[in-house]
Chain A
Protein backbone atom coordinates (compact mmCIF):
# COMPACT_ATOMS: atom_id res chain seq x y z
CA UNK A 1 0.00 0.00 0.00
CA UNK A 2 1.43 3.33 -1.00
CA UNK A 3 1.80 5.87 1.77
CA UNK A 4 0.01 9.14 1.25
CA UNK A 5 2.26 12.15 1.23
CA UNK A 6 2.08 14.52 4.19
CA UNK A 7 -0.51 17.27 3.60
CA UNK A 8 0.99 20.44 2.24
CA UNK A 9 0.24 23.86 3.63
CA UNK A 10 -1.91 24.68 0.58
CA UNK A 11 -3.89 21.48 1.07
CA UNK A 12 -4.43 22.29 4.75
CA UNK A 13 -5.66 25.75 3.88
CA UNK A 14 -8.15 24.30 1.41
CA UNK A 15 -9.19 21.63 3.88
CA UNK A 16 -9.79 24.20 6.62
CA UNK A 17 -11.90 26.23 4.18
CA UNK A 18 -13.88 23.09 3.35
CA UNK A 19 -14.61 22.48 7.03
CA UNK A 20 -15.67 26.07 7.46
CA UNK A 21 -17.92 25.79 4.42
CA UNK A 22 -19.72 22.70 5.77
CA UNK A 23 -19.75 23.70 9.42
CA UNK A 24 -23.32 25.04 9.54
CA UNK A 25 -24.75 22.11 7.66
CA UNK A 26 -23.00 19.65 9.96
CA UNK A 27 -24.25 21.56 12.98
CA UNK A 28 -27.82 21.43 11.65
CA UNK A 29 -27.48 17.71 11.06
CA UNK A 30 -26.13 17.13 14.57
CA UNK A 31 -28.80 19.33 16.14
CA UNK A 32 -31.39 17.01 14.67
CA UNK A 33 -29.62 13.90 15.88
CA UNK A 34 -28.75 15.16 19.37
CA UNK A 35 -31.87 17.22 20.06
CA UNK A 36 -29.85 19.38 22.43
CA UNK A 37 -27.84 22.35 21.19
CA UNK A 38 -24.96 21.90 23.64
CA UNK A 39 -24.53 18.24 22.68
CA UNK A 40 -24.64 19.11 19.00
CA UNK A 41 -21.88 21.70 19.51
CA UNK A 42 -19.78 19.20 21.44
CA UNK A 43 -20.16 16.51 18.79
CA UNK A 44 -19.40 19.03 16.06
CA UNK A 45 -16.16 20.10 17.74
CA UNK A 46 -15.20 16.48 18.21
CA UNK A 47 -16.02 15.72 14.56
CA UNK A 48 -13.97 18.64 13.27
CA UNK A 49 -11.01 17.64 15.43
CA UNK A 50 -11.29 14.06 14.23
CA UNK A 51 -11.48 14.89 10.52
CA UNK A 52 -8.57 17.30 10.91
CA UNK A 53 -6.48 14.46 12.29
CA UNK A 54 -7.63 12.30 9.36
CA UNK A 55 -7.10 15.01 6.75
CA UNK A 56 -4.38 13.02 5.04
CA UNK A 57 -6.93 10.34 4.15
CA UNK A 58 -9.36 12.87 2.63
CA UNK A 59 -9.93 12.43 -1.08
CA UNK A 60 -10.35 15.92 -2.58
CA UNK A 61 -12.03 14.38 -5.64
CA UNK A 62 -14.52 12.35 -3.59
CA UNK A 63 -17.82 13.26 -1.94
CA UNK A 64 -16.67 15.69 0.74
CA UNK A 65 -20.17 16.23 2.11
CA UNK A 66 -20.87 12.52 2.50
CA UNK A 67 -17.46 12.01 4.09
CA UNK A 68 -18.10 14.74 6.64
CA UNK A 69 -21.64 13.59 7.40
CA UNK A 70 -20.35 10.07 7.90
CA UNK A 71 -17.67 11.33 10.27
CA UNK A 72 -20.28 13.36 12.19
CA UNK A 73 -22.58 10.36 12.42
CA UNK A 74 -19.81 8.11 13.73
CA UNK A 75 -18.85 10.72 16.29
CA UNK A 76 -22.49 11.01 17.34
CA UNK A 77 -22.67 7.22 17.83
CA UNK A 78 -19.45 7.27 19.88
CA UNK A 79 -20.83 10.16 21.93
CA UNK A 80 -24.00 8.18 22.71
CA UNK A 81 -22.06 5.09 23.62
CA UNK A 82 -19.80 7.07 25.97
CA UNK A 83 -22.77 8.73 27.62
CA UNK A 84 -24.50 5.41 28.08
CA UNK A 85 -21.42 3.96 29.73
CA UNK A 86 -21.20 6.99 32.01
CA UNK A 87 -24.88 6.91 33.03
CA UNK A 88 -26.43 3.48 32.32
CA UNK A 89 -29.97 3.80 30.97
CA UNK A 90 -29.61 7.51 30.31
CA UNK A 91 -29.77 7.28 26.55
CA UNK A 92 -32.42 4.67 26.03
CA UNK A 93 -34.68 2.37 27.97
CA UNK A 94 -35.96 -1.10 27.36
CA UNK A 95 -38.27 -1.81 24.45
CA UNK A 96 -41.07 -2.95 26.73
CA UNK A 97 -41.40 0.43 28.42
CA UNK A 98 -43.94 2.77 26.85
CA UNK A 99 -41.41 5.59 26.70
CA UNK A 100 -38.36 3.69 25.56
CA UNK A 101 -37.42 6.33 23.03
CA UNK A 102 -35.33 9.08 24.54
CA UNK A 103 -37.04 12.43 24.81
CA UNK A 104 -34.96 15.55 24.28
CA UNK A 105 -33.88 16.99 27.59
CA UNK A 106 -34.27 20.59 26.47
CA UNK A 107 -36.76 22.43 24.28
CA UNK A 108 -36.08 21.87 20.62
CA UNK A 109 -35.00 24.76 18.43
CA UNK A 110 -37.82 26.91 17.13
CA UNK A 111 -36.80 26.29 13.51
CA UNK A 112 -37.10 22.56 14.03
CA UNK A 113 -40.49 22.93 15.63
CA UNK A 114 -41.67 25.15 12.78
CA UNK A 115 -40.43 22.62 10.27
CA UNK A 116 -42.41 19.86 11.97
CA UNK A 117 -45.51 22.03 12.19
CA UNK A 118 -45.26 22.84 8.47
CA UNK A 119 -44.86 19.18 7.61
CA UNK A 120 -47.79 18.24 9.83
CA UNK A 121 -49.90 20.86 8.12
CA UNK A 122 -49.25 19.25 4.76
CA UNK A 123 -50.10 15.71 5.88
CA UNK A 124 -53.45 14.09 5.13
CA UNK A 125 -55.60 14.38 8.26
CA UNK A 126 -55.62 10.65 9.03
CA UNK A 127 -51.81 10.47 8.87
CA UNK A 128 -51.49 13.57 11.05
CA UNK A 129 -53.91 12.26 13.67
CA UNK A 130 -52.23 8.86 13.81
CA UNK A 131 -48.77 10.40 14.00
CA UNK A 132 -49.75 12.72 16.83
CA UNK A 133 -51.65 9.95 18.58
CA UNK A 134 -48.71 7.57 18.45
CA UNK A 135 -45.68 9.80 19.00
CA UNK A 136 -47.14 12.68 20.98
CA UNK A 137 -49.97 11.12 22.97
CA UNK A 138 -48.30 7.75 23.45
CA UNK A 139 -51.25 5.67 22.22
CA UNK A 140 -50.52 2.13 21.13
CA UNK A 141 -51.10 0.88 17.61
CA UNK A 142 -54.06 -1.13 18.86
CA UNK A 143 -55.59 1.88 20.62
CA UNK A 144 -55.22 3.94 17.47
CA UNK A 145 -56.77 1.17 15.39
CA UNK A 146 -59.79 1.03 17.71
CA UNK A 147 -60.14 4.78 17.89
CA UNK A 148 -60.11 5.19 14.11
CA UNK A 149 -61.87 1.89 13.30
CA UNK A 150 -58.96 0.72 11.18
CA UNK A 151 -56.99 -2.54 11.04
CA UNK A 152 -53.66 -2.36 12.89
CA UNK A 153 -51.74 -2.93 9.64
CA UNK A 154 -53.49 0.03 8.03
CA UNK A 155 -52.52 2.18 11.01
CA UNK A 156 -48.91 1.06 10.53
CA UNK A 157 -49.02 1.89 6.82
CA UNK A 158 -50.36 5.38 7.52
CA UNK A 159 -47.72 5.91 10.18
CA UNK A 160 -44.95 4.77 7.85
CA UNK A 161 -46.07 7.12 5.11
CA UNK A 162 -46.37 10.00 7.57
CA UNK A 163 -42.85 9.34 8.83
CA UNK A 164 -41.51 9.22 5.29
CA UNK A 165 -42.98 12.68 4.77
CA UNK A 166 -41.39 13.87 8.00
CA UNK A 167 -38.07 12.50 6.78
CA UNK A 168 -38.48 14.30 3.46
CA UNK A 169 -39.19 17.61 5.22
CA UNK A 170 -41.65 20.32 4.27
CA UNK A 171 -39.78 21.74 1.26
CA UNK A 172 -39.22 18.56 -0.67
CA UNK A 173 -42.79 17.79 -1.60
Chain B
Protein backbone atom coordinates (compact mmCIF):
# COMPACT_ATOMS: atom_id res chain seq x y z
CA UNK B 1 0.00 0.00 0.00
CA UNK B 2 1.45 3.37 -0.97
CA UNK B 3 0.66 6.74 0.59
CA UNK B 4 -2.27 7.63 -1.66
CA UNK B 5 -3.80 4.18 -1.18
CA UNK B 6 -3.39 4.65 2.54
CA UNK B 7 -5.19 8.01 2.40
CA UNK B 8 -8.05 6.61 0.35
CA UNK B 9 -8.46 3.73 2.77
CA UNK B 10 -8.34 6.06 5.77
CA UNK B 11 -11.05 8.33 4.36
CA UNK B 12 -13.24 5.41 3.33
CA UNK B 13 -12.95 4.23 6.92
CA UNK B 14 -13.96 7.62 8.31
CA UNK B 15 -16.78 7.96 5.74
CA UNK B 16 -18.17 4.68 7.06
CA UNK B 17 -17.74 5.99 10.64
CA UNK B 18 -15.36 3.15 11.39
CA UNK B 19 -12.38 3.43 13.67
CA UNK B 20 -9.24 3.52 11.49
CA UNK B 21 -7.20 1.94 14.27
CA UNK B 22 -9.36 -1.18 13.93
CA UNK B 23 -8.11 -1.63 10.38
CA UNK B 24 -5.06 -3.91 10.57
CA UNK B 25 -3.69 -2.71 7.22
CA UNK B 26 -3.91 0.95 8.19
CA UNK B 27 -2.25 0.25 11.52
CA UNK B 28 0.51 -1.79 9.85
CA UNK B 29 1.15 0.99 7.31
CA UNK B 30 1.31 3.61 10.04
CA UNK B 31 3.64 1.44 12.05
CA UNK B 32 5.97 1.31 9.07
CA UNK B 33 5.69 5.07 8.41
CA UNK B 34 6.14 6.84 11.75
CA UNK B 35 6.61 10.16 9.93
CA UNK B 36 2.85 10.08 9.15
CA UNK B 37 1.79 9.35 12.70
CA UNK B 38 1.46 12.91 13.93
CA UNK B 39 -0.74 14.02 11.01
CA UNK B 40 -3.06 11.06 11.52
CA UNK B 41 -3.17 11.73 15.26
CA UNK B 42 -4.06 15.36 14.54
CA UNK B 43 -6.88 14.30 12.22
CA UNK B 44 -8.12 11.73 14.72
CA UNK B 45 -8.14 14.30 17.51
CA UNK B 46 -10.01 16.81 15.34
CA UNK B 47 -12.67 14.23 14.52
CA UNK B 48 -12.94 13.56 18.25
CA UNK B 49 -13.37 17.27 18.99
CA UNK B 50 -16.14 17.55 16.40
CA UNK B 51 -17.89 14.44 17.70
CA UNK B 52 -17.56 15.53 21.30
CA UNK B 53 -19.27 18.76 20.35
CA UNK B 54 -22.25 16.91 18.89
CA UNK B 55 -24.39 16.13 21.97
CA UNK B 56 -24.56 19.78 22.97
CA UNK B 57 -25.74 20.72 19.50
CA UNK B 58 -28.33 17.95 19.42
CA UNK B 59 -29.71 19.09 22.75
CA UNK B 60 -30.59 22.41 21.16
CA UNK B 61 -27.98 24.55 22.88
CA UNK B 62 -25.36 26.36 20.87
CA UNK B 63 -22.08 24.67 21.43
CA UNK B 64 -18.79 26.51 21.45
CA UNK B 65 -17.85 25.10 18.10
CA UNK B 66 -21.17 26.03 16.54
CA UNK B 67 -20.83 29.56 17.85
CA UNK B 68 -17.34 29.73 16.51
CA UNK B 69 -18.34 28.18 13.22
CA UNK B 70 -21.12 30.69 12.76
CA UNK B 71 -18.70 33.42 13.78
CA UNK B 72 -16.46 32.16 11.04
CA UNK B 73 -19.35 32.37 8.60
CA UNK B 74 -20.18 35.96 9.50
CA UNK B 75 -16.60 37.04 9.98
CA UNK B 76 -16.55 38.82 6.63
CA UNK B 77 -19.73 40.70 7.52
CA UNK B 78 -18.47 41.47 11.00
CA UNK B 79 -15.26 42.85 9.57
CA UNK B 80 -17.23 45.17 7.32
CA UNK B 81 -19.40 46.28 10.26
CA UNK B 82 -16.44 46.89 12.54
CA UNK B 83 -15.71 50.54 11.54
CA UNK B 84 -19.42 51.36 11.88
CA UNK B 85 -19.54 49.84 15.36
CA UNK B 86 -16.47 51.77 16.44
CA UNK B 87 -17.94 54.97 15.04
CA UNK B 88 -21.27 54.40 16.85
CA UNK B 89 -19.51 53.60 20.09
CA UNK B 90 -17.30 56.67 19.73
CA UNK B 91 -20.29 58.94 19.05
CA UNK B 92 -22.12 57.47 22.04
CA UNK B 93 -19.12 58.16 24.24
CA UNK B 94 -18.77 61.74 23.03
CA UNK B 95 -22.50 62.32 23.49
CA UNK B 96 -22.35 60.95 27.03
CA UNK B 97 -19.39 63.21 27.80
CA UNK B 98 -21.23 66.25 26.42
CA UNK B 99 -24.36 65.48 28.44
CA UNK B 100 -22.34 65.07 31.61
CA UNK B 101 -20.45 68.26 30.95
CA UNK B 102 -23.70 70.18 30.32
CA UNK B 103 -25.45 68.86 33.40
CA UNK B 104 -22.51 69.37 35.73
CA UNK B 105 -23.59 72.36 37.86
CA UNK B 106 -20.17 73.71 38.74
CA UNK B 107 -18.95 73.54 35.19
CA UNK B 108 -19.95 77.11 34.16
CA UNK B 109 -18.56 78.69 37.30
CA UNK B 110 -15.25 76.92 37.13
CA UNK B 111 -12.59 78.96 35.38
CA UNK B 112 -11.03 77.08 32.53
CA UNK B 113 -7.55 77.71 33.89
CA UNK B 114 -8.34 76.36 37.40
CA UNK B 115 -6.85 72.99 38.31
CA UNK B 116 -9.35 70.14 38.03
CA UNK B 117 -11.08 68.95 41.19
CA UNK B 118 -11.13 65.31 42.21
CA UNK B 119 -14.24 63.45 41.09
CA UNK B 120 -14.87 65.60 38.06
CA UNK B 121 -15.00 63.90 34.68
CA UNK B 122 -12.49 65.64 32.49
CA UNK B 123 -12.86 63.48 29.43
CA UNK B 124 -14.38 60.25 28.17
CA UNK B 125 -12.57 58.12 25.71
CA UNK B 126 -13.98 55.19 23.76
CA UNK B 127 -11.33 52.94 22.40
CA UNK B 128 -11.86 49.74 20.41
CA UNK B 129 -10.16 46.61 21.65
CA UNK B 130 -9.27 43.94 19.11
CA UNK B 131 -11.86 41.22 19.61
CA UNK B 132 -10.78 37.66 20.33
CA UNK B 133 -11.70 35.28 17.50
CA UNK B 134 -13.77 38.05 15.95
CA UNK B 135 -16.76 37.02 18.07
CA UNK B 136 -17.80 40.36 19.54
CA UNK B 137 -16.20 43.80 19.47
CA UNK B 138 -15.36 45.11 22.90
CA UNK B 139 -15.47 48.79 23.84
CA UNK B 140 -13.87 50.44 26.83
CA UNK B 141 -14.97 53.87 28.12
CA UNK B 142 -12.41 55.52 30.34
CA UNK B 143 -13.28 58.33 32.75
CA UNK B 144 -10.45 60.47 34.02
CA UNK B 145 -11.27 61.35 37.64
CA UNK B 146 -8.12 63.23 38.49
CA UNK B 147 -5.52 64.58 36.12
CA UNK B 148 -2.79 66.54 37.86
CA UNK B 149 0.88 66.56 37.13
CA UNK B 150 1.49 64.38 40.17
CA UNK B 151 -1.72 62.30 40.28
CA UNK B 152 -3.85 60.68 37.61
CA UNK B 153 -6.88 58.53 38.49
CA UNK B 154 -9.04 56.83 35.88
CA UNK B 155 -11.94 54.41 35.97
CA UNK B 156 -13.16 52.47 32.96
CA UNK B 157 -16.16 50.45 31.87
CA UNK B 158 -15.78 47.70 29.35
CA UNK B 159 -18.55 45.97 27.42
CA UNK B 160 -19.12 43.85 24.35
CA UNK B 161 -21.16 44.92 21.36
CA UNK B 162 -23.19 42.00 20.00
Contacts and interface: CB of A to CB of B under 8 A. Distances in A.
Interface of A: 29, 31-33, 35, 63, 65-67, 69-70, 73-74, 77, 80, 91-92, 95, 97-104, 107-108, 112-113, 115-117, 119-121, 125, 128, 131-132, 135-138, 141, 156, 159-160, 163-164, 166-169
Interface string B40-57: 111111111111111001
Chain B residues touching A, majority SS? helix
Contacts of B46: 112, 115-116, 119, 166-167
Given A113-B65, A131-B50, A136-B54, 14 more contacts: A32-B45, A33-B44, A66-B34, A70-B34, A70-B37, A73-B30, A101-B14, A103-B51, A116-B49, A121-B75, A135-B47, A137-B58, A141-B15, A163-B47
Contacts of B48: 35, 103-104, 108
B45 A138 contact: no
Interface stretch (B18-26, B93-101, B103-111, B137-145): B18-26
9 contacts: A65-B34, A80-B21, A103-B51, A103-B52, A104-B51, A120-B72, A163-B11, A166-B46, A166-B47
Contacts of B65: 113, 116-117, 120, 132, 136
Interface of B: 7, 11, 14-19, 21-22, 27, 30-31, 34-35, 37-54, 57-58, 64-66, 68-69, 72-73, 75, 133
